[in-house]
């Protein structure tokens, strides 16, 4: 059966440390138009209303910036993803900062409460912080803790306010109550910039990170086979592609660039081979930020990956 892809556009940037990720979706559309592609015209899409106006006001939560707004966005994204499944469609999410990926996972779990969900996180960062451990307070560094009901108190360095904790606990119950997935069912690709509280969780829960060096040594095909092998016990797989997984030399167009990342070709092949797996139930691209770029280089590269991923999604089967 052919998958009917539906786009979910999320122009949120409140959980990033730099401004401009709200424009990522538009930068991708501009890249598409300049390339003469009909991708955006041919796919149905839903837009999620953002709360970026919160950035005009003072943040009240230093250990979880704009957490009230993040909760609102996660509810909206969860419902949006869920409504795409309800229509029998496959969600491709184009988002700003990475925090809303937690909302995507909430929406998947809401639709499939009895399925075991795995996440493939292609990223420079592990995004496993909590308000108790974050070095920055930026919530795009926390989505994987939100969906695994993780606090990581063993590595506590911050003392978040009571109001912060109330919002944090609320976030953990979006979609369905409690954890949507296990920390053990996360696989990282290209993670290379972590803090010690994240290293602790990765070690404790045996979370595998396939490094850029391994990708280069074994090739993209073999890496994808190994990644999928790790998640054989999962029923459904969500793929989250943060463009900062790619090398910072490719483009400055993302909020937290890190050297020694994937090439565009490697990222394109990895995403292609992943979405050929029939277990993949949602695919997401995040953190394109054209305001930090020269020309529209990141979005043009990211668009070529989006186009190729969508071409190959059509070839696999709905679970």
Ligand X SMILES: NC(=[NH2+])NCCC[C@H](N)C(=O)O
Interface contacts to Mn ion, rule CB under 5 A: 98, 123, 125, 127, 242
Task: Name the minimum Å distance from CB 116 to ligand X.
Answer: 24
Strand pairing of 186-189 and 208-210?
Answer: parallel
Task: Name the minimum Å distance from CB 314 to Mn ion.
Answer: 27
Task: Name the minimum Å distance from CB 243 to ligand X.
Answer: 9
Task: Name the minimum Å distance from CB 59 to ligand X.
Answer: 14
Q: What distance in Å separates the CA atoms of residue 187 and residue 180, rounded to the nearest whole number?
A: 15
Considering the complex, state which of residue 126 and residue 313 has its C-beta at the smaller distance from ligand X: 126
Considering the complex, state which of residue 3 and residue 98 has its C-beta at the smaller distance from ligand X: 98
Of 287, 288, 299, 306, the residue at the interface with ligand X (CB under 6 A) is 287
Considering the complex, state which of residue 5 and residue 201 has its C-beta at the smaller distance from ligand X: 201
Contact 305, 268 (CB under 8 A): yes
User: Which of 107, 113, 109, 121 is closest to 77 using CA atoms?
Assistant: 107
138: contact with ligand X by CB under 6 A: yes
Contact 284, 239 (CB under 8 A): yes
Query: Coil, strand, or helix at residue 72?
Result: helix
User: Which of 245, 303, 257 is closest to 27 using CA atoms?
Assistant: 303
Contact 281, 319 (CB under 8 A): yes
Convert residues 95-124 into a mask of x (bound to ligand X by CB under 6 A) and - (unbound). ---x--------------------------
DSSP string, 208-240: EEE-HHHHHHH-HHHHHHHHHHHTTT-SEEEEE
Task: Name the minimum Å distance from CB 125 to ligand X.
Answer: 4
Task: Name the minimum Å distance from CB 127 to Mn ion.
Answer: 5
Considering the complex, state which of residue 269 and residue 284 has its C-beta at the smaller distance from ligand X: 284
Considering the complex, state which of residue 215 and residue 286 has its C-beta at the smaller distance from ligand X: 286
269: contact with ligand X by CB under 6 A: no
Task: Name the minimum Å distance from CB 117 to ligand X.
Answer: 19
**Residue 100 gets which letter from DSSP?**
G
User: Which of 93, 140, 124 is closest to 249 using CA atoms?
Assistant: 124
Please choose, out of 134-142, 233-241, 261-269, 288-296, the segment that lies near ligand X by the rule CB under 6 A. 134-142
Q: Name 159's Cβ contacts closer than 8 Å, sequence gap at least 6.
A: 63, 132
Picked from ligand X, Mn ion, none, the partner binding residue 266 (CB below 5 to 8 A depending on kind) is none
Picked from ligand X, Mn ion, none, the partner binding residue 136 (CB below 5 to 8 A depending on kind) is ligand X
Considering the complex, state which of residue 61 and residue 85 has its C-beta at the smaller distance from ligand X: 61
Considering the complex, state which of residue 119 and residue 223 has its C-beta at the smaller distance from Mn ion: 119
Q: What value, to the nearest 5°, has the Cα angle with vertex 21 and ends 304 and 224?
A: 45
Please choose, out of 128-136, 145-153, 158-166, 169-177, the segment that lies near ligand X by the rule CB under 6 A. 128-136
Contact 155, 111 (CB under 8 A): no
C-alpha pair distances (Å), 46 with each of 42, 277, 294? 13, 25, 29
Query: Coil, strand, or helix at residue 200?
Result: helix
150: contact with ligand X by CB under 6 A: no
244: contact with ligand X by CB under 6 A: yes
Give the length of the chain. Answer: 319
Residues in contact with ligand X by the rule CB under 6 A: 98, 125, 127, 129, 134-136, 138, 140-141, 195, 242, 244, 255-256, 287
């Amino acid at each position: 059966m052919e998958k009917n892809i539906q786009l979910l556009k999320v122009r949120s940037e409140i959980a990033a440390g730099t401004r401009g990720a709200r424009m990522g979706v538009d930068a991708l559309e501009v890249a598409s138009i300049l390339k003469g592609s009909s991708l955006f015209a041919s796919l149905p899409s839903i837009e999620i209303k953002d709360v970026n106006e919160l950035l005009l006001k003072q943040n009240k939560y230093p250990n979880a910036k704009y957490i009230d707004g993040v909760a609102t966005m996660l509810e909206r994204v969860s419902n949006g993803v869920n409504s795409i499944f309800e229509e029998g469609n496959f969600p491709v999410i184009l988002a700003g900062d990475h925090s809303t990926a937690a909302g995507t996972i909430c929406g998947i779990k809401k639709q499939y409460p009895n399925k075991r969900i795995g996440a493939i996180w292609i990223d420079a960062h592990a995004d496993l912080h909590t308000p108790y451990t974050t070095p920055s307070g930026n919530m795009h560094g926390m989505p994987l803790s939100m969906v695994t009901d993780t606090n990581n108190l063993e590595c506590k360095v911050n003392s978040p306010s009571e109001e912060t904790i109330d919002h944090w606990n609320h976030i953990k119950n979006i979609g369905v109550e409690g954890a949507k997935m296990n920390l053990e069912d996360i696989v990282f690709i290209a993670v290379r910039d972590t803090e010690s509280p994240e290293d602790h969780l990765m070690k404790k829960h045996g979370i595998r990170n396939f490094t850029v060096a391994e990708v280069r040594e074994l090739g993209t095909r073999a890496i994808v086979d190994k990644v999928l092998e790790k998640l054989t016990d999962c029923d459904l797989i969500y793929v989250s592609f943060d463009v900062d997984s790619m090398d910072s030399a490719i483009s400055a167009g993302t909020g937290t660039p890190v050297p020694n990342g994937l090439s565009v070709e490697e990222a394109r092949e990895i995403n292609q081979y992943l979405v050929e797996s029939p277990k993949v139930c949602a695919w997401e691209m995040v953190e394109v930020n054209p305001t930090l770029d020269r020309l529209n280089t990141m979005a043009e590269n990211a668009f070529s990956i989006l186009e190729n991923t969508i071409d190959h999604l059509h070839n696999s089967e709905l679970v």
